[in-house]
C-alpha cells in the first residue's frame, strides 16, 4: 500500500503551488492580467480566481461545510463549466488586489481546516486534486505568457542549465519485445486521476521506439523538404488546419534567412537550438513528420511499455513488473528529469541519462510533452471522481500526450499520467518521438 500524503505535506504542497502562481502573475501589469480575447488562453485575473474557487467549491464548501467568501458571486464568476470561455473577459471581475485577497482567504481557511479538524480520505483526495489543478493552471499561465509574448518569468528554484543545453543529440531506436503489459494504475491507495483507472492488461506486438524526442534540427529537414506543402503526409483534417493557417513551419519559428532559424521564447528571440526537442507543434504536424520520416507516432500502450516496462528472462515484456517512473520507483530529482521549470526551457535531448527507462529511452518524463497516436478514451470500467468533468468531456475529442514538459510540476508526474488536447493545439509544450 502506498503511503498517503500527510496533512503537513499537503499544507506544504498548497503553499508551494501558490508560490509558483504568484511568481507567474505579480510581475504583470493590469493590461497584461486581462490580455486579448483568444481561444487558447484565459484572462489571467479570472484564471487565478478560478484556481482559488476550485479549493473553495470542492473542498471547503463540499467537504468542510464552509460558506463562500464571495457569497453567490463566486459561482457566477468562477465556475469554469457554467461560465463559457468567451465571456470571461466581460465578467464583473474582482480587482487584482481583491483577487489576491480571495486567493489568500481560501488558502488560509483550507489550511485552518486541515490543522484544526483533521482530514478524511475524501478531503485528502480533493486537497491533492486542488494542488494538481493549480499546478496544471501554472503550466497554462506559462503557455499563456508564451502565447502573448510576455516577459520570461523568474522562478526561485531555477538552476544553472549550461551543461544540459550542451548535451547534444541522442539518435537511434531501441527494440521493445512484445507481450502482455498492465496499462494504467493499480488501486494502491495513492492519488490517481480518473482517466488512469484502473490497471488492465493489453497485448503489445514488438516495436521499435526512438531513444529521444524529435529535435529541432531533425524537424528542420522536414520543413526544408517542403513537408508542410506535401499533402501525402497529412491527414485530411490536418490539411484543412494547415491551409487555414497558411503555415510552412512551427508557430514560434522565425526564418532569419542566411542566419538560419530563430525562435520566440516568451519576449525573447533566440537562435533555434539544434538538439533541443521540437516543441509547440500540433498533433497534425507531429503525425505528418512521422509519415515523412517513414515512421509513426507510438500508441499510448507502446509509450507506457517503453517508459515503464522491463524485459523478462524469456525475452518478452515482463508482465508483472512495472516502474512508477522510467528510471525506477524513487521520486524525482533535479538530475533525473527536466521538470518544475528549473531550467526555464527545454534542454538537449541527450541530457539526463540517469532518467533512462529500462529499454533505454531518454526523457520520457520532462522536457516536452509527447503526442501519441491515440484519441483520448476511457479505460475499461471508467468512473468519474468528484470532479466529474475532468476527463469525460474530452473523450473522443482530443489526442493523448504523455510524459510532461519542462513546465510540468514533478509532484503530479509519473509514467501513467495522461494529458489530452485537441489535435490542432500547438501552443502547449508539445513535442513527440517516433515509433516503428
pLDDT tier at 3, thresholds 50, 70, 90: low
pLDDT tier at 7, thresholds 50, 70, 90: very high
**CATH code of the domain occupying 160-436:** 3.90.1580.10
- Percent residues over pLDDT 90 in the chain: 92
**Which range, of 95-104, 152-161, 408-417, averages the lowest pLDDT?**
152-161
Write the pLDDT tens digit of every residue in 37-69.
999 999 999 999 999 999 999 999 999 999 999
Rounded to whole angstroms, the Cα distance separating 235 from 222 reads: 16
Rounded to whole angstroms, the Cα distance separating 245 from 292 reads: 20
Q: Is the predicted pLDDT of residue 2 greater than 60, yes or no?
A: no
pLDDT of residue 333: 67
CA distances from 245 to 19, 106, 281, 348 (A): 37, 42, 13, 29
Exposure letters 238-272 (e unless 16+ CB within 10 A, then b)? beebbeeeeeebbebbeeeeeeebbbebbeeeeeb
What are the residues whose beta carbons fall under 8 Å from the beta carbon of 385, sequence distance 6 or more?
A: 125, 129, 193, 194
**CATH code of the domain occupying 7-148:** 1.20.120.450
Averaged pLDDT of the chain: 95
Do the domains 160-436 and 7-148 match in fold?
Answer: no
**Which range, of 13-27, 36-50, 149-163, averages the lowest pLDDT?**
149-163
For 16, the 3-state DSSP assignment is helix
Q: Are strands 261-265 and 268-271 parallel, antiparallel or unpaired?
A: antiparallel
Domain ranges of the chain: 7-148, 160-436
pLDDT of residue 174: 98
pLDDT of residue 1: 39
Number of CB atoms found within 10 A of residue 23's CB: 17
For residues 20-49, average pLDDT: 98
For residues 96-111, average pLDDT: 98
pTM given for the model: 0.97
Strand order in the sheet with 261-265: 253-255, 261-265, 268-271
Write the pLDDT tens digit of every residue in 168-192.
999 999 999 999 999 999 998 889 9
- Percent residues over pLDDT 70 in the chain: 98
Amino acid at each position: 500500500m502506498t503511503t498517503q500524503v500527510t496533512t503537513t505535506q499537503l499544507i506544504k504542497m498548497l503553499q508551494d503551488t501558490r508560490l509558483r502562481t504568484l511568481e507567474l502573475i505579480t510581475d504583470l501589469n493590469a493590461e497584461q492580467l486581462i490580455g486579448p480575447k483568444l481561444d487558447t488562453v484565459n484572462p489571467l485575473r479570472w484564471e487565478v480566481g478560478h484556481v482559488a474557487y476550485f479549493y473553495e467549491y470542492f473542498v471547503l464548501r463540499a467537504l468542510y461545510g464552509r460558506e463562500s467568501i464571495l457569497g453567490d458571486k463566486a459561482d457566477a464568476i468562477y465556475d469554469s463549466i457554467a461560465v463559457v470561455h468567451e465571456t470571461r473577459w466581460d465578467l464583473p471581475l474582482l480587482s487584482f488586489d481583491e483577487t489576491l485577497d480571495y486567493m489568500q482567504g481560501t488558502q488560509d481557511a483550507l489550511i485552518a481546516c486541515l490543522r484544526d479538524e483533521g482530514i478524511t480520505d475524501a478531503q485528502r483526495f480533493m486537497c491533492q486534486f486542488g494542488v494538481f489543478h493549480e499546478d496544471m493552471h501554472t503550466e497554462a499561465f506559462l503557455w499563456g505568457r508564451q502565447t502573448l509574448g510576455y516577459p520570461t518569468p523568474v522562478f526561485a528554484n531555477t538552476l544553472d542549465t549550461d551543461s544540459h543545453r550542451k548535451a547534444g543529440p541522442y539518435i537511434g531506436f531501441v527494440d521493445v519485445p512484445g507481450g502482455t503489459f498492465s496499462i494504467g494504475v493499480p488501486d494502491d491507495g495513492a492519488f490517481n486521476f480518473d482517466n488512469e483507472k484502473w490497471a488492465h492488461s493489453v497485448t503489445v506486438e514488438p516495436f521499435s521506439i526512438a531513444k529521444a524526442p524529435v529535435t529541432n534540427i531533425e524537424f528542420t529537414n522536414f520543413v526544408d523538404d517542403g513537408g508542410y506543402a506535401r499533402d501525402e503526409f497529412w491527414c485530411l483534417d490536418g490539411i484543412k488546419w494547415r491551409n487555414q493557417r497558411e503555415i510552412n513551419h512551427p508557430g514560434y519559428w522565425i526564418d532569419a534567412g542566411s542566419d538560419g532559424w530563430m525562435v520566440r521564447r516568451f519576449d525573447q528571440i533566440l537562435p533555434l537550438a539544434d538538439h533541443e526537442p521540437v516543441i509547440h507543434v500540433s498533433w497534425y504536424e507531429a503525425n505528418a513528420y512521422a509519415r515523412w520520416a517513414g515512421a509513426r507516432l507510438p500508441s499510448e500502450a507502446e509509450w507506457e511499455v517503453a517508459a515503464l516496462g522491463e524485459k523478462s528472462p524469456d525475452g518478452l515484456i515482463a508482465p508483472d513488473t512495472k516502474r512508477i517512473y522510467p528510471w525506477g520507483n524513487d521520486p524525482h530529482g533535479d538530475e533525473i528529469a527536466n521538470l518544475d521549470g528549473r531550467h526555464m526551457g527545454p534542454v538537449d535531448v541527450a541530457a539526463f541519462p540517469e532518467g533512462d527507462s529500462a529499454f533505454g529511452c531518454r526523457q520520457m518524463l520532462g522536457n516536452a510533452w509527447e503526442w501519441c497516436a491515440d484519441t483520448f478514451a476511457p479505460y475499461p470500467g471508467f468512473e468519474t471522481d468528484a470532479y466529474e468533468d475532468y476527463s469525460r468531456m474530452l473523450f473522443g475529442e482530443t489526442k493523448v500526450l504523455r510524459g510532461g514538459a519542462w513546465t510540468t510540476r514533478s509532484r503530479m508526474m509519473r509514467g501513467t499520467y495522461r494529458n489530452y488536447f485537441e489535435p490542432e493545439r500547438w501552443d502547449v509544450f508539445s513535442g513527440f518521438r517516433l515509433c516503428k
